[in-house]
């Protein structure tokens, strides 16, 4: 009887372990399949020059030209723009929620931020298409409203909830004694926030920023309709249309086949590369944060 | 500048930023409601998306009583009316023979209210309607009489009707979304929950635990378009599922794993150590302890994780676009050629992208926002239950 129970327990434990390993297998499968398909066109017979791919500024599948440099530039610039606008606004909102706002107001603000995080990205795209693009069309020196500026604005809005909630958590984690010591030295509340609390919450805010970068660079559907997606050309200004790595994949994947499809996977590999940098940085920051706490 | 002045400016800046965040949220939600609200009516909520034309052979009632009521065709137990779209069925007896008609393939096709009658045998109601409209559209009663007379003609024989069921509703997408939620929860729910049980209750600190946590953290960071790429290669092409709801559900299930695992782990960790120790001390096995002591306490947390996942499924687009397709009808199978189906979110996207129809997209957006809002409130309620359990 005892023996039987033990075997039973062992079987169940193995089942649990298998379920836990599904995550590991999935990550490996995603990497292997995407990389295999994406690196295929650069090897074997009739290879496409990797340098042409990574430095080209023209994407014309019908002519067999696949250059994604202008998309890399667009993705990086849009993400950078979103961080420049989104992080300060998000951080200040977090400061408001953690340090200044009365309890009742926080109780309204926090669900509001959660709701902002829960809005499907397609609806951010609808907002961009219905509000931002027509507005930009009016003020832009160019004829169209689809532009890098529209992309940057939508991405800034989309990273806000990530920045706000993580920064707020790390601001709240700063020990009360830090603030009291600062007040004791005669500093005002605002001085304490900028000179003591924010520096003390630095690593958390940095993690939030990196997570925001990851969200912005991987976002697809919200920016699909407002980017313009031209087939060639580096972005000249914030008014020019851009094609991002993500939108390139989503635009053509439904009908692509053969080499064109492989090139879309290659675009995915480049995107993956950026995501790995982001994930690595995040992991490094979390480790460092944990060590500091010890 | 005095330090007090500087303080004041900085404080105003902070308040402005917080205000801006609220303005953005209100702006987005307000915009969706403002643009989408005119598009919402009962037809939008109850109809199929595609218009559907069917030829139906119908017999008549065996016994019926004559009626002088306008638009009434007693032998079929139906009342017709003239609408803007054509001659539509206004009311249908529950035993009407029109509910037992056979379509071209010999299957029973049940007519419904609001279906539009376009032909009765060789008599084209559609043409007559157009003519009547072009001639000024006067005297609708006489026109209706003409149509009912055509239906009343030829006693004892069966009629062949051409009927159009009007579209423009979101029912297929709503049903597809429900299927998608069900499938994803069936696949990702047990795997995620059992995995968290392993991680919290069984795993000993060491390389294996680190690897699993590392993998889950990485999964959480991968953008959904990459999941879409993987799904379209592995499930759609290699597994030969084609664009189908199962391929979509499998892809989204992987995407959900980190969401479910992280939240369930939190819920399990919230159960005090003492509970487990007392249970083991009373002679229960580890499995019995988990099943009878740990899991019941963690249920609110797990439910909150499930609601969170439903929110993700409802809002997901990039991964589903590349795996489940964009067909606006209820999928008839899990895999294969008839299994493609668009969820509400995907439909909102294709409406904007391909048909430039921002109003209908925003109308769907309103439905999505309401769903997300309700889910978040429910999820918060469950979380507060969990906190109560911990005595906080």
Confidence class of residue B392 from pLDDT cuts 50, 70 and 90? very low
Are B198 and A16 in contact (CB < 8 Å)?
A: yes
- Are B240 and B94 part of one and the same domain? no
Ordered by start, the domain boundaries in chain A are 2-42, 69-293
Give A223-262 pLDDT, tens digit per residue.
988 998 888 888 888 899 999 999 999 988 888 888 889 9
Weakest-pLDDT range from A39-48, A185-194, B105-114, B166-175: B105-114
How far apart, in Å, do the first and last CA atoms of chain B sit? 46
From B165, B185, B212, give the residue that closes a domain: B165
Are A224 and B353 in contact (CB < 8 Å)?
A: yes
With 70 as the cut, is the pLDDT of residue A2 above it? no
Average pLDDT score over residue span B202-209: 87
Q: Which of residues 109-138 of A touch B (CB under 8 A)?
A: 109, 111-116, 118-127, 129-131
From B143, B165, B187, give the residue that closes a domain: B165
CA–CA min distance A4, chain B (Å): 12
Q: Does some domain include residue B194? A: yes
From B165, B189, B221, give the residue that closes a domain: B165
Are B3 and A253 in contact (CB < 8 Å)?
A: no
Top pLDDT among B97 and B199 is at B199
- Give the best residue of B8, B197, B217, B223 to mutate against chain A (max A CB count within 10 A): B223
- Are B115 and B259 part of one and the same domain? no
Q: Does some domain include residue B325? A: yes
Q: B239 CB near a chain A CB, below 8 Å?
A: no
Average pLDDT score over residue span B122-132: 78
- Are B295 and B184 part of one and the same domain? yes
- Are B125 and B203 part of one and the same domain? no
* Confidence at residue B62, expressed as pLDDT on a 0 to 100 scale: 60
Average pLDDT score over residue span B34-44: 85
What are the chain B neighbours of A127 within 8 Å (beta carbons)?
27-28, 31-32
3-state secondary structure chain A: CHHHHHHHHHHHHHHHHHHHHHHHHHHHHHHHHHHHHHHHHHCCCCCCCHHHHHHCCEEEHHHCEECCHHHHHHHHHHHHHHHHHHHHHHHHHHHHHHHHCCHHHHHHHHHHHHHHHHCCHHHHHHHHHHHHHHHHHHHCCCCCCCCHHHHHHHHHHHHHHHHHHHHHHHHHCCCHHHHHHHHHCCCCHHHHHHHHHHHHCHHHHHHHHHHHHHHHHHCCHHHHCCCECCCECCCCCCCCCECCHHHHHHHHCCCCCHHHHHHHHHHHHHHHHHHHHHHHHHHHHHHHHHHHHC
Top pLDDT among B96 and A280 is at A280
Neighbours of B283 (CB within 10 A): 7
Are B223 and A114 in contact (CB < 8 Å)?
A: no
Q: Which of residues 108-147 of B touch A (CB under 8 A)?
A: none
Q: Does some domain include residue B316? A: yes
Distance CA A162, CA A11 (A): 40
Of B219, B230, B358, the CB nearest to A130: B358
Q: What is the CATH number of the domain that holds B156?
A: 2.30.42.10
Give A41-63 pLDDT, tens digit per residue.
888 778 888 888 888 888 988 88
Q: B318 CB near a chain A CB, below 8 Å?
A: yes
* Confidence at residue A219, expressed as pLDDT on a 0 to 100 scale: 92
Q: Does some domain include residue B4? A: no
Q: B216 CB near a chain A CB, below 8 Å?
A: yes
Are B212 and A127 in contact (CB < 8 Å)?
A: no
pLDDT averaged over every residue in chain B = 84
Q: What is the CATH number of the domain that holds B305?
A: 1.10.3720.10
Q: Does some domain include residue B267? A: yes
CA–CA min distance A136, chain B (Å): 17
* Confidence at residue B312, expressed as pLDDT on a 0 to 100 scale: 92
Tell me the percentage of chain A whose pLDDT exceeds 70.
Answer: 98
Tell me the percentage of chain B whose pLDDT exceeds 70.
Answer: 94
Are B225 and A250 in contact (CB < 8 Å)?
A: yes
With 80 as the cut, is the pLDDT of residue B388 above it? no
- Are B232 and B337 part of one and the same domain? yes
What are the chain A neighbours of B201 within 8 Å (beta carbons)?
16
Q: Does some domain include residue B21? A: no
With 60 as the cut, is the pLDDT of residue B391 above it? no
With 50 as the cut, is the pLDDT of residue B119 above it? yes
With 60 as the cut, is the pLDDT of residue B234 above it? yes
- Are B160 and B176 part of one and the same domain? no
Of B197, B257, B287, the CB nearest to A23: B257
Q: Which of residues 323-342 of B touch A (CB under 8 A)?
A: 326
Q: Does some domain include residue B256? A: yes
Q: Does some domain include residue B324? A: yes
Weakest-pLDDT range from A203-212, B248-257, B267-276: B267-276
Distance CA A159, CA A162 (A): 5
- Are B116 and B151 part of one and the same domain? yes
> Is the Cβ–Cβ distance between B210 and A29 less than 8 Å?
no
- Are B146 and B183 part of one and the same domain? no
Domain that holds residue B178: 171-389
CA–CA min distance A233, chain B (Å): 23
Are B7 and A188 in contact (CB < 8 Å)?
A: yes
Confidence class of residue A294 from pLDDT cuts 50, 70 and 90? low
What CATH architecture applies to the domain A69-293? Orthogonal Bundle (1.10)
- Find the DSSP H helices in chain B: 3-36, 42-46, 125-134, 140-152, 171-197, 207-221, 224-231, 245-269, 273-281, 286-289, 295-315, 318-321, 344-355, 358-389
Q: Tokens for B85?
A: 């779209």
What are the chain A neighbours of B25 within 8 Å (beta carbons)?
112-113, 115-116
Distance CA B21, CA B15 (A): 10
Are B3 and A101 in contact (CB < 8 Å)?
A: no
What are the chain A neighbours of B251 within 8 Å (beta carbons)?
none
- ipTM surpasses 0.90: yes
* Confidence at residue A136, expressed as pLDDT on a 0 to 100 scale: 92
Distance CA B390, CA A52 (A): 59
With 90 as the cut, is the pLDDT of residue B252 above it? yes
Average pLDDT score over residue span B106-127: 79
C-alpha distance from residue B392 to each of B270, B296, B298, B310, B375 (Å): 11, 18, 15, 27, 23
Tell me the percentage of chain B whose pLDDT exceeds 90.
Answer: 30
Of A13, A160, A224, the CB nearest to B21: A160
Q: Give the H/E segment covering residue B165.
A: strand B159-165
Question: DSSP character for B204?
Answer: P
Confidence class of residue A134 from pLDDT cuts 50, 70 and 90? very high
Q: How many domains does chain B have?
A: 2
* Confidence at residue B334, expressed as pLDDT on a 0 to 100 scale: 84
Q: Which of residues 247-276 of A touch B (CB under 8 A)?
A: 249-250, 253-254, 264-265, 268, 271-272, 275
> Is the Cβ–Cβ distance between B218 and A243 less than 8 Å?
no
């Amino acid at each position: 009887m005892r023996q039987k129970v033990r075997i039973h327990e062992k079987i169940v434990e193995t089942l649990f372990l298998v379920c836990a390993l599904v995550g590991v297998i999935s990550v490996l499968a995603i990497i292997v399949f995407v990389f295999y398909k994406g690196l295929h066109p650069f090897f074997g017979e009739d290879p496409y020059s990797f340098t042409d791919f990574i430095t080209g500024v023209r994407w014309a599948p019908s002519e067999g030209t696949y250059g994604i440099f202008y998309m890399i530039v667009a993705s990086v610039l849009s993400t950078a723009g979103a961080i420049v606008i989104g992080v300060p606004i998000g951080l200040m909102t977090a400061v408001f929620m953690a340090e200044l706002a009365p309890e009742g107001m926080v109780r309204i603000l926090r669900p509001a931020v959660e709701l902002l995080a829960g809005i499907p990205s397609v609806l951010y795209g609808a907002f961009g298409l219905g509000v931002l693009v027509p507005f930009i069309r009016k003020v832009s020196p160019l004829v169209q409203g689809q532009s890098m500026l529209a992309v940057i604005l939508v991405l800034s809005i989309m990273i806000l909830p990530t920045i706000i909630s993580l920064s707020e958590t790390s601001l709240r984690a700063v020990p009360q004694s830090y603030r009291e010591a600062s007040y004791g030295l005669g500093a005002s509340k605002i001085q304490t926030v900028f000179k003591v609390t924010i520096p003390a919450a630095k690593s958390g805010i940095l993690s939030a920023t990196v997570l925001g970068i990851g969200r912005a660079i991987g976002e697809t559907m919200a920016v699909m309709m407002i980017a313009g997606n031209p087939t060639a050309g580096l972005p000249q200004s914030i008014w020019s249309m851009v094609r991002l790595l993500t939108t390139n994949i989503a635009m053509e994947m439904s009908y692509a086949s053969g080499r064109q499809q492989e090139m879309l996977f290659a675009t995915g590999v480049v995107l993956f590369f950026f995501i790995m940098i982001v994930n690595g940085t995040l992991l490094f920051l979390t480790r460092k944060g944990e060590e500091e706490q010890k | 500048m005095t330090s007090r002045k500087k303080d004041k400016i900085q404080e105003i800046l902070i308040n402005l930023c917080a205000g801006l965040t609220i303005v953005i949220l209100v702006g987005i939600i307000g915009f969706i409601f403002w643009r989408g609200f005119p598009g919402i009516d009962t037809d939008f909520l109850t109809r199929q998306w595609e218009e559907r034309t069917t030829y139906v052979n119908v017999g008549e009632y065996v016994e019926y009583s004559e009626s002088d009521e306008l638009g009434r065709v007693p032998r079929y137990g139906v009342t017709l009316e003239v609408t803007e779209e054509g001659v539509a069925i206004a009311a249908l007896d529950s035993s009407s023979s029109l509910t037992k008609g056979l379509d071209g393939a010999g299957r029973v096709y049940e007519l419904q209210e609001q279906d539009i009658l376009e032909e009765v045998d060789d008599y084209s109601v559609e043409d007559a309607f157009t003519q009547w409209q072009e001639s000024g559209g006067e005297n609708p009663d006489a026109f209706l009489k003409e149509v009912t007379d055509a239906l009343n003609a030829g006693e004892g024989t069966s009629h062949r009707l051409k009927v159009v069921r009007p579209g423009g509703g979101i029912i297929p997408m709503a049903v597809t979304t429900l299927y998608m939620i069900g499938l994803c929860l069936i696949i990702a729910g047990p795997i995620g929950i059992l995995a968290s049980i392993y991680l919290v209750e069984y795993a000993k600190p060491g390389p294996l635990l680190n690897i699993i946590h590392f993998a889950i953290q990485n999964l959480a960071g991968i953008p959904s378009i990459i999941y879409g790429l993987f799904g379209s290669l592995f499930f759609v092409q290699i597994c030969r599922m084609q664009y189908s709801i199962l391929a979509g559900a499998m892809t989204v299930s992987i995407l959900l794993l980190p969401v479910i695992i992280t939240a369930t782990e939190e819920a399990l960790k919230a159960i005090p150590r003492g509970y487990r120790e007392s249970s083991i001390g009373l002679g229960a096995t580890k499995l019995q302890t988990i099943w009878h002591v740990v899991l019941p306490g963690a249920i609110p947390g797990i439910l909150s994780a499930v609601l969170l996942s439903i929110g993700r499924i409802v809002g997901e687009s990039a991964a589903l676009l590349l795996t489940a397709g964009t067909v606006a009808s209820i999928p008839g199978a899990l895999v294969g050629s008839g299994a493609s189906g668009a969820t509400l979110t995907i439909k909102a996207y294709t409406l904007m992208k391909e048909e430039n129809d921002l109003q209908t997209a925003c109308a769907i957006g309103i439905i999505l926002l309401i769903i997300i809002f309700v889910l978040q409130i429910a999820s918060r309620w469950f979380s507060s239950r969990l906190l109560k359990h911990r005595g906080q």
